[in-house]
Amino acid sequence: METIFTLQTQKEDIDLLGHVNNCRYVKFLEDARVNWYENCGISLKDFQEMRIGTVVLKMEVLYRKEAKLGDHLKIITRPDYLGNTSFVLKQDIYNQFDEHLTNAKVTMVMFDTILRKGIKVIDQIAQNFR
């Protein structure tokens, strides 16, 4: 399942160089992943009630082109790989001119918040890799 999450860059996203700070891209990618989970049918509240979540194990981000104040960004999130306790999502960020700004590959681990360890990827997520 592929999702598209959109946002407009704000003043607080901009650094002293006049473009979006690299840390903000990481936040944008996280917001898009939350949107992906919601499209899988699982909300943050659902995660809390089940006492599970996902944690980032590894994140590779390639900053290809800068985003600036007021840009309209589109973040595409799609499944890449499903393991037993982990999965990989690919994410791409484009601006309003359809210029490819950023691509990322994020490895997530399904996590039991009580036992504080990895668990099998739940079906609501795993079914989107088939």
Q: What is the CATH number of the domain that holds 91?
A: 3.10.129.10
Residue 49 belongs to what domain range? 3-129
Helices (H) and strands (E) in the chain, counts: 3, 6
Instruction: Supply the pLDDT for residue 51.
Output: 97
For the chain, how many structural domains are there in total? 1
**Whether 98 contacts 16, CB under 8 Å:** no
Question: Tokens at residue 68, please?
Answer: 């600036």
What's the N-to-C CA distance of the chain in angstroms?
A: 9
**Whether 43 contacts 81, CB under 8 Å:** no
pLDDT by position in tens, the chain (length 130): 999 999 999 999 999 999 999 999 999 999 999 999 999 999 999 999 999 999 999 999 999 999 999 999 999 999 999 999 999 999 999 999 999 999 999 999 999 999 999 999 999 999 999 7
pTM above 0.85, yes or no: yes
| Centroid of chain to Cα 20 | 17
